[in-house]
A = this chain, B = another copy of it.
Amino acid sequence: MPEVTVTRRLTFNAAHRVHNPALSEAENDALFGKCNNPNWHGHNYVLEVSVTGEVSEKTGYVMDLGALKRLVNEQVVDRMDHRNLNVEVDFMRGIIPTTENIVVACWRVLEPAIRPARLTRLRLWETENNHVEYEGH
């Protein structure tokens, strides 16, 4: 049976501050500049969740994308949407909320939750000019 990758796009809007509490104010400012603003800033994030698998002969689906959407909303999107990524998201606790760290944190929540379907890629856009990809390695 052919193996196909299916991708669902979701969005959320959140506030954050790129800040490492282990460093001084001056070090944070030097490393992160305006992204370190103590009064926060925010983004319209776009998350693409990709699952790879054989196409079912019965349904023609790798996975029901409606079910995937509900699961991703429940596991990560609804917990970040209209939230502050530094202070309100339990699975981001103690993590500097860069796009890189958000995508890895989402993987760690989603990968076991999606099983037995196989999560193979997460893409996360912070702006139209910047995005990251993680494949679990």
A: residues with CB less than 8 A from B are 2-11, 13-16, 18, 20, 23, 31-35, 37, 39-44, 50, 55, 58-62, 64-66, 81-84, 87-88, 95-101, 103-104, 107, 127-134, 136-137
Instruction: Point out the residues of chain B lying under 8 angstroms from A104, CB to CB.
Output: 2, 4, 55
Instruction: Point out the residues of chain B lying under 8 angstroms from A87, CB to CB.
Output: 39
Alpha-carbon distance between A10 and B4 when the two chains are bound, in angstroms: 20
Alpha-carbon distance between A113 and B4 when the two chains are bound, in angstroms: 21
The main secondary structure of chain A at its interface with chain B is mixed
Instruction: Point out the residues of chain B lying under 8 angstroms from A82, CB to CB.
Output: 34-35, 37, 41
Contact A130 B37 (CB under 8 A): no
Interface pairs (7), CB distance under 8 Å: A9-B129, A16-B42, A31-B58, A40-B84, A41-B82, A60-B97, A62-B100
